[in-house]
Amino acid sequence: MTTKDIQLDIRGAVAVVRLSRPAKRNALSDSLVLALRDVFQNLPDTVRAAVIDGEGEHFCAGLDLSELKERDAGQGLHHSRMWHAALESLQYGPVPVIAALHGAVVGGGLELASACHIRVADESTFYALPEGSRGIFVGGGGAVRIPRLIGAARMADMMLTGRVYNAQDGERIGLAQYLVPTGTASEKAFELAQRVAENAPLTNYALMHALPRIAEQPADQGFLTEALMAAIAQSAPEAKERVRAFLEGRANKVKKA
Ligand code: 1HE
């Protein structure tokens, strides 16, 4: 499936979703944000993991500023909520999503990346939140998700001073979990997605839907939610078979890194 601004390529169990507005540096117009929502809400059942990357020199230049017309407060509220709904369809969608980053990952582009479950950045990547200098604020969930990756103090610094993080520093502070040579982020993300796709679906579900909520719960509630999720996951026939396979020497051992 391909829309005007997004290419969707299903490769086995992995969906590769590509932002395809390279002339506008993949700036996120309303129609592109809605198309993203639609893609993640309608992935075929055979898909077990997804990669999202960007065509051209940059992952994403953020909000399409040409659409930032005068809105009243109510319209602004609904516009931001539209982004929330779209990015929640990735974060709390059917499958884990791996972002392959290169070039600019700025503004709403960083908000999009932070809604993904894993971020792989190549050496050309740079991160910024230019909202501060544009006289606006994040509105795509960045105020919730980005502090959870790097802390509110670093995010405030990025917005107050226009600080730009390069790829190495981005990985060091937690914006990406993987740093790879220039031009290889999509390949690495696809390789990881294939690995993720082999997990038991209920384990992936727990990691996407239970873990972030447990992490936000007070400890005593978190322990209970963890126990409930653990009991459900281990009761699945697939879990029993995977454990049996290890005990019978049919499954991989963990290898030293
Ligand atoms: C755009 C956008 C955009 C490029 N909206 N049209 N985001 C920003 O403030 C970042 C603005 N963009 C940039 O700083 C740069 O474009 C880049 C560093 C990303 C890339 O630089 P470069 O030299 O490769 O490209 P360019 O020449 O700046 O841009 C190429 C074209 O894309 C040009 O249009 P053209 O018609 O003159 O060819 C640019 O105008 C256009 N373009 N970025 C619209 N963002 C939910 S709230 C989120 C709030 C935010 O995201 S605010 C941050 C917005």
CATH number at residue 187: 3.90.226.10
Tell me, yes or no, whether 252 lies in a domain.
Answer: no
Same domain? 209 vs 99:
no
From 197, 222, 238, the end of a domain falls on 197
Q: Is the pLDDT of residue 3 over 90?
A: no
Residue 226's domain comprises 201-247
Q: Which of 57, 65, 129 to mutate to test the pocket of ligand 1 (most atoms within 8 A of CB)?
A: 65
Tokens representing 150? Answer: 């790097």
Which residues are identified as catalytic? 111, 131
From 161, 179, 197, the end of a domain falls on 197
**What would the pLDDT profile of 216-235 be if each residue is shown by its tens digit?**
999 999 999 999 999 999 99
Same domain? 179 vs 221:
no
Output the pLDDT for position 181: 98
Same domain? 168 vs 61:
yes
Tell me, yes or no, whether 60 lies in a domain.
Answer: yes
Ligand 1 contact, 64 CB (< 6 A):
yes
Output the pLDDT for position 2: 59
Output the pLDDT for position 63: 96
Tell me, yes or no, whether 35 lies in a domain.
Answer: yes
Same domain? 226 vs 120:
no
Residues 6+ apart with CB under 8 A from 116: 52, 90, 91, 97, 98, 99
Ligand 1 contact, 131 CB (< 6 A):
yes
Same domain? 159 vs 37:
yes
Ligand 1 contact, 84 CB (< 6 A):
no
Same domain? 110 vs 226:
no
Same domain? 235 vs 116:
no
Same domain? 138 vs 228:
no
Residue 104 alpha carbon to ligand 1 centre in Å: 9
pTM confidence score: 0.97
Judged by average pLDDT, the poorest of 26-35, 103-112, 238-247 is: 238-247
- For residue 17, report the phi and psi dihedrals to the nearest 5 degrees: -105, 120
CA–CA separation, 219 and 216 (whole Å): 9
Same domain? 96 vs 149:
yes
Ligand 1 contact, 172 CB (< 6 A):
no
pLDDT band at 195 (very low <50, low <70, confident <90, very high): very high
Output the pLDDT for position 71: 81
Same domain? 167 vs 149:
yes
**What would the pLDDT profile of 134-180 be if each residue is shown by its tens digit?**
889 999 999 999 999 999 999 999 999 999 999 999 999 999 999 99
From 197, 220, 236, the end of a domain falls on 197
Tell me, yes or no, whether 185 lies in a domain.
Answer: yes
Output the pLDDT for position 68: 84
CATH number at residue 234: 1.10.12.10
Is 179 in contact with 204 (CB distance < 8 Å)? no
User: What is the layout of strands, in order, in the sheet containing 165-166?
Assistant: 104-106, 126-128, 165-166
Number of domains in the chain: 2
Same domain? 52 vs 143:
yes
The long-range contacts involving 1-10, CB below 8 angstroms and separated by at least 24 positions, are 1/39, 3/35, 3/38, 3/39, 4/31, 4/35, 5/29, 5/31, 5/32, 5/35, 6/32, 6/35, 6/36, 6/39, 7/55, 8/39, 10/44, 10/46, 10/47
Ligand 1 contact, 63 CB (< 6 A):
yes
Same domain? 157 vs 211:
no
Tell me, yes or no, whether 139 lies in a domain.
Answer: yes
Tell me, yes or no, whether 36 lies in a domain.
Answer: yes
Tell me, yes or no, whether 254 lies in a domain.
Answer: no
Widest distance between CA atoms in the chain:
65
Q: Which of 5, 20, 24, 25 to mutate to test the pocket of ligand 1 (most atoms within 8 A of CB)?
A: 25
Tell me, yes or no, whether 257 lies in a domain.
Answer: no
| Mean pLDDT rounded to a whole number for the chain | 96
In this prediction, what percent of the chain has a pLDDT beyond 70? 99
